[in-house]
Amino acid sequence: MLKRIYTALFCCGLIAPGWAQDVAIVIHGGAGTILKANMTPEREAAYVAALQEAVQTGYKLLKDGAKGEEAVVAAIQVMETSPLFNAGIGAVYTFEGQHELDASIMHGGTLNAGAVAGVKTIRSPIAAALAVMEQSPHVMLSGKGAEAFAESIGMKPVKNTLFNTERRYKALLKAKERILNANVPYGGQQGNERFGTVGAVVLDQYGNLVAGTSTGGMTAKRFGRIGDSPVIGAGTYADNESCAVSATGHGEYFIRFHVAADICSRMKYRNDTLADAANTVINDVLVKAEGDGGIIAVDAKGNIAAVFNTSGMYRAQIDTQGNLKVGIYQQWINE
Ligand code: ASP
């Protein structure tokens, strides 16, 4: 009712546009060892531009009245299409030199969710995750089955080589050399080989919270390894009664500590604020366990959190007042 009155007043020009504005969005492009010393000005500018494009794409949709899931998918697709991020084009390589992509999405109003894991021929894994949520009775589809499902609903398969980039290939060669020399056939990934993911969380005009995450996973991963990103409760969670969370980091820890759901549960059952819940899980629980990474989150009031225990996390947000912030290192760039 209130919303209708606001909309009528807004449309008649009787209140400032800011009054009707109750949407918020936060995105991330992965956490990790991200140091200004290792960044060229050109590269930094390219990340800032891509993050801004992604967050503004989602925000515009939200302002135009799109549903949260549409905004989440659109923001993530900007990053899946950019070679800068470990998702879609630019995804890391598996040990065998392929790309196996994971993604998930969750709606905080219906608590419905969809995910795909280990897919090789789906151009936009986050779009496929949304299709699983909306067009199937399941929550998670994997590998060839997920690819067949995507094709059956009209998603044209792509060649796995579409996701190739030289930078990630070089990273694979380096990781493989070390893994083979150290004789650790099951892994032994170090530093940023464990990182890179994209995600978005939103509060839409209808009061719904939605979270989504998409990734290529871990460099040189083997044996069909799946991380936290497609696991509901670990890499992604949304509940209108608490918050929407998308995570990035060393997936094995995020699964074991069900990071995204833990943050929501702390708000729901302990009445923690979003800031306290996120901070405790990332900077206390995970730090004690030596799990590296971070999260972005938004709650039903539009409070925002972007918390990480690594040196950096690519991120951007537009709050309920329309303020845009972009960050890569500890401090926001434009604060
Ligand atoms: N969590 C992802 C994974 O483990 C990687 C990342 O977010 O950086 O697959």
Span 183-223, pLDDT tens digits: 776 666 777 777 789 999 999 999 999 999 999 999 999 99
Ligand 1 centroid to Cα of residue 191, in Å, is 12
pLDDT of residue 187: 67
Q: Is 294 touching ligand 1 by the criterion CB < 6 Å?
A: no
Q: Which residue has the tokens 């579409």?
A: 162
Q: Is 265 touching ligand 1 by the criterion CB < 6 Å?
A: no
* Exposure on the CB side of residue 74, measured as CA atoms within 13 A: 18
Q: Is 248 touching ligand 1 by the criterion CB < 6 Å?
A: yes
Residues 6+ apart with CB under 8 A from 184: none
Tell me the chain's radius of gyration from C-alpha atoms.
Answer: 19
Ligand 1 centroid to Cα of residue 243, in Å, is 21
Task: List, in sequence order, the alpha helices (H) in 136-220.
Answer: 143-152, 166-181
Look at the alpha carbons of 67, 84, 117, 288 in this order and tell me if their dihedral is positive or negative: negative
Rounded Cα distance, 20 and 7, in Å: 7
pLDDT bucket at 172, cuts 50 / 70 / 90: very high
Domain spans of the chain?
19-327
What is the pLDDT of the chain when averaged over all its residues?
92
55 and 34 Cβ atoms separated by less than 8 Å: no
Q: Is 318 annotated as a binding residue?
A: no
State both tokens at 110: 């219906």
Task: Of 161, 122, 159, give the one whose Cα is nearest residue 143.
Answer: 122
pLDDT of residue 182: 79
* Exposure on the CB side of residue 322, measured as CA atoms within 13 A: 8
Report the run of H or E that residue 209 belongs to, with start and end: strand 209-215
Q: Is 229 touching ligand 1 by the criterion CB < 6 Å?
A: yes
- Who has greater pLDDT, 269 or 32? 269
Q: Which fold has domain 19-327?
A: Glutamine Phosphoribosylpyrophosphate, subunit 1, domain 1 (3.60.20)
Segment 267-281 mean pLDDT? 98
* CA 235 to ligand 1: nearest atom: 1
Q: Is 227 annotated as a binding residue?
A: yes
Q: Is 273 annotated as a binding residue?
A: no
Q: Is 249 touching ligand 1 by the criterion CB < 6 Å?
A: yes
Ligand 1 centroid to Cα of residue 278, in Å, is 18
Q: Is 88 annotated as a binding residue?
A: no
93 and 170 Cβ atoms separated by less than 8 Å: no
pLDDT of residue 68: 98
pLDDT bucket at 166, cuts 50 / 70 / 90: very high
Ligand 1 centroid to Cα of residue 118, in Å, is 13
Q: Is 213 touching ligand 1 by the criterion CB < 6 Å?
A: no
Lowest mean pLDDT among 97-101, 106-110, 184-188, 219-223: 184-188
pLDDT of residue 8: 41
Q: Is 30 touching ligand 1 by the criterion CB < 6 Å?
A: yes
Q: What is the pTM of this model?
A: 0.93
Ligand 1 centroid to Cα of residue 253, in Å, is 10
Pocket test for ligand 1, best of 79, 101, 218 (most atoms within 8 A of CB): 218
> How many residues are given for the chain?
335
Cβ burial of 196 (10 Å; 0-12, 13-18, 19+) is buried
pLDDT of residue 152: 98
Q: Which residues participate in catalysis according to the annotation? A: 197
**Does 6 score more than 70 pLDDT?**
no
**Does 66 score more than 50 pLDDT?**
yes
**Does 52 score more than 50 pLDDT?**
yes
pLDDT of residue 184: 72
Segment 72-77 mean pLDDT? 98
pLDDT of residue 185: 66
Q: Is 97 annotated as a binding residue?
A: no
Rounded Cα distance, 315 and 302, in Å: 17
Q: Which residue has the tokens 């590998």?
A: 143
122 and 155 Cβ atoms separated by less than 8 Å: yes
**Does 1 score more than 50 pLDDT?**
no
Segment 79-106 mean pLDDT? 97
